[in-house]
Structure 1
Amino acid sequence: MTILPLGVGLFSVALFLLGFVLLAPRRARVPLDRRQPAQNQADSQLTRFAGSAVHLVDGYFSQRKVRLFSREALENAGLRMGQSDFFVLVLAGAFVGALAGFIVAGPLLAILFVLLAPLAGHLVIGFLTGKRRALFDQQLGDTLQLLSGGLRAGHSILRAIDAAAAESLSPTAEEMRRVITETSLGRDLQSSLTDTAERMRSDDFVWIAQAIQINREVGGNLAEVLDQVGETIRERSEIKGHIKSLAAEGKFSAYILMAMPFGIVAMLMVANPGYMNSMVTHLLGWIMIGASLVMMTIGGLWMRKIIDLKF
């Protein structure tokens, strides 16, 4: 009987403390960085080591022309780092992969991971570049609306491009800002727009550059021309999306067919580890594996040719 009054009393005290914490007036707190003078934090040992490695690689690249992971490729991928920075990052990944491979299966797997590290870096750059270019194509409709709106407001084409760079998202903002910077340094506008189209591999942006160049030569209402180009680009985007939806089933089937042999082999090795030993202990097994890889490569390229529709 004495437990119930004690529990009610503790619950009442807890409610009182909670109300006091929530309703009590708060004193103004001065941030810690305003109470103490600004102090530069010392770099860690790992940061200093990475900086030294980047400096050494940069000195090596400055004396030789190395095209691997070039500055242009990194810029197209949207990576804000230098060639030496990315190369050091790849070397670090190769070291970690070699260490993991050596622990798991010995020196052969470690060497394989070291050799695959540059390939992995190249694939990452290619993936980021393709994603950035696709996003640039998706933003072209909004970019044209911003350009035509700026022209109707009475701005010049350079001022309209500057406004589009300020209002757009990445990567359109970066590319438009680059065009403005190049023209400010004295380069021709048409050359900057053409380089942007080649760098982004956008056929639609080639039309925009040609429309701007023709208007500069013969005159006319550029805003109306850009609206017509934008309408054409939107229709092409609708057709492109329709084609992708029709080809999605074929692509998914191709992915399943390409992954099925590897999945079956992995399942057999897990269910019965000794079942695949004859394939790797006899010459005929290696010949069959090689022939299978060749036929899978041919079949994969064939299916890619079928489902990769051009328009």
Structure 2
Amino acid sequence: MDNLALLTIGVTLLCCVLGVLGQHAYSSGRAQREALVDRLSSTGQIEPGPQRRFRGFDRRLRRTKLGRRIEQKLAATGLDLTPGEFLFYVLCSVAALWLIAASVLASFFGPLAAIVGLWSANTFLTWHRTKRTEAFIGQLPEISRVLANATQAGLSLRTSIAMAADELEAPAGDELRVVADQLAVGRTLDDALDELARRLPSRELVVLVSTLILSNRAGGQVVSSLRNLTVTLEERKETRREVRTQLSQVNTTAYAVPAIGIGAMLLVNSILPGALDRMTGSVAGQIAVIVSLGLYALGFVAIRRISKIDI
């Protein structure tokens, strides 16, 4: 028994010593990292980034499949958010929607509001990605013109891309800066441009990337190809603007149809307080609400499909 007690005390002391040494190593490493960041920031070699929230949660989330997927979507949107911050804000918003819908309408609408909140979060990322892609497409003629002028001046394609990244505004400048940084660390031009095309999918960008890759491989006339591509992209830009103007009324109708339905439901509940609660108190009422909401969603999707024209 005495030997067991001494062994227990010895193991406990050893664990305490190792814990203290580990905490000391962690603290010293963190202090060295902060000192290195401060020294590089003071010399201008790196720019100090914003203070991030939920770092531990963000690190654990990035190791999961969901975290990597969110990170890829955020990279395409250009939002200054980490996956941990985005997911935390989404969960808080979903919980708030659940409570508001359950208290204002009826308890049955709480889970439905949560589902709508999750769908809205994904739609929000998709909308930002589409918006950024559209802005990038609008800058493609200018990108082609800058690359053509730089190439005609005798610069290599890698140097031309880096120069275009410095001259152009966001989002083209930011995306080309990513490509230039990838080229600087040894990635091939084909891989860097292909990743750009996957990050911001569009036919115009695919044409530009294909032109640059083929010209780089075959050693063709990059300047003449980019000049012709600039004219084509300008014409497509005007065509896309005209089509978007013609379809603006149809797109407005797609959002107005479900808004009218939800507004009518809220109006009924305000005229007859508790009407939605009584209606969803039975299985038949719940089925009717789900079917009606599904039909509104189907109408929204159908109108959006009809108004979608690929150019």
Q: TM-score, with normalisation over the residues of structure 2? A: 0.70
Which letter does structure 1 place at the counterpart of 2:55? V
Specify the structure having the higher radius of gyration (Cα). Answer: 1
In structure 1, C-alpha distance between the alignment counterparts of 2:281 and 2:103, rounded to whole Å: 24
Specify the SS of the correspondent of 2:247.
helix
Comparing 254-263 and 219-228, the one that deviates more: 254-263
List alignment gaps of at least 5 residues for structure 1.
1-47
In structure 2, C-alpha distance between the alignment counterparts of 1:277 and 1:107, rounded to whole Å: 7
Matches within 5 A, 1:92-131: 92-93=92-93, 118-131=118-131
Q: CA deviation at 1:98?
A: 6.4
Q: CA deviation at 1:87?
A: 3.1
Name the residue aligned to 2:86: 86
In structure 1, C-alpha distance between the alignment counterparts of 2:114 and 2:268, rounded to whole Å: 28
Is the contact made by 1:151 and 1:222 (CA closer than 8 Å) also made in structure 2? yes
Specify the SS of the correspondent of 2:183.
helix
Name the residue aligned to 1:27: none
Q: CA deviation at 1:243?
A: 1.8
Name the residue aligned to 1:54: 55
Matches within 5 A, 1:17-166: 51=53, 53-55=54-56, 57-58=57-58, 60-61=60-61, 64-68=63-67, 70-93=70-93, 118-166=118-166
Matches within 5 A, 1:135-284: 135-273=135-273, 279-281=279-281, 283-284=283-284
Specify the SS of the correspondent of 1:170.
coil
Specify the SS of the correspondent of 1:155.
coil
Name the residue aligned to 1:23: none
Name the residue aligned to 1:305: 305
Q: CA RMSD in A?
A: 3.2
In structure 2, C-alpha distance between the alignment counterparts of 1:298 and 1:106, rounded to whole Å: 24
Q: CA deviation at 1:238?
A: 1.7
Comparing 153-162 and 301-310, the one that deviates more: 301-310
Kindly tell me the number of residue pairs found equivalent between the two proteins: 260
Is the contact made by 1:197 and 1:203 (CA closer than 8 Å) also made in structure 2? no
In structure 2, C-alpha distance between the alignment counterparts of 1:305 and 1:214, rounded to whole Å: 35
Higher relative contact order (CA 8 A, sep 6+): 2
In structure 2, C-alpha distance between the alignment counterparts of 1:95 and 1:275, rounded to whole Å: 24
Change (3 A) 1:101 1:306: closer
Is the contact made by 1:183 and 1:192 (CA closer than 8 Å) also made in structure 2? yes
Comparing 253-262 and 102-111, the one that deviates more: 102-111
Comparing 295-304 and 220-229, the one that deviates more: 295-304
Which letter does structure 1 place at the counterpart of 2:164? A
Change (3 A) 1:276 1:98: closer
Is the contact made by 1:97 and 1:113 (CA closer than 8 Å) also made in structure 2? yes
Change (3 A) 1:244 1:176: same
Is the contact made by 2:106 and 2:276 (CA closer than 8 Å) also made in structure 1? no
In structure 2, C-alpha distance between the alignment counterparts of 1:167 and 1:300, rounded to whole Å: 41
- Identity, in percent, stands at 22
Change (3 A) 1:88 1:282: closer
In structure 2, C-alpha distance between the alignment counterparts of 1:120 and 1:296, rounded to whole Å: 16
Which letter does structure 2 place at the counterpart of 1:252? T
Name the residue aligned to 1:25: none
Is the contact made by 2:106 and 2:277 (CA closer than 8 Å) also made in structure 1? no
In structure 1, C-alpha distance between the alignment counterparts of 2:156 and 2:248, rounded to whole Å: 43
Which letter does structure 2 place at the counterpart of 1:201? P
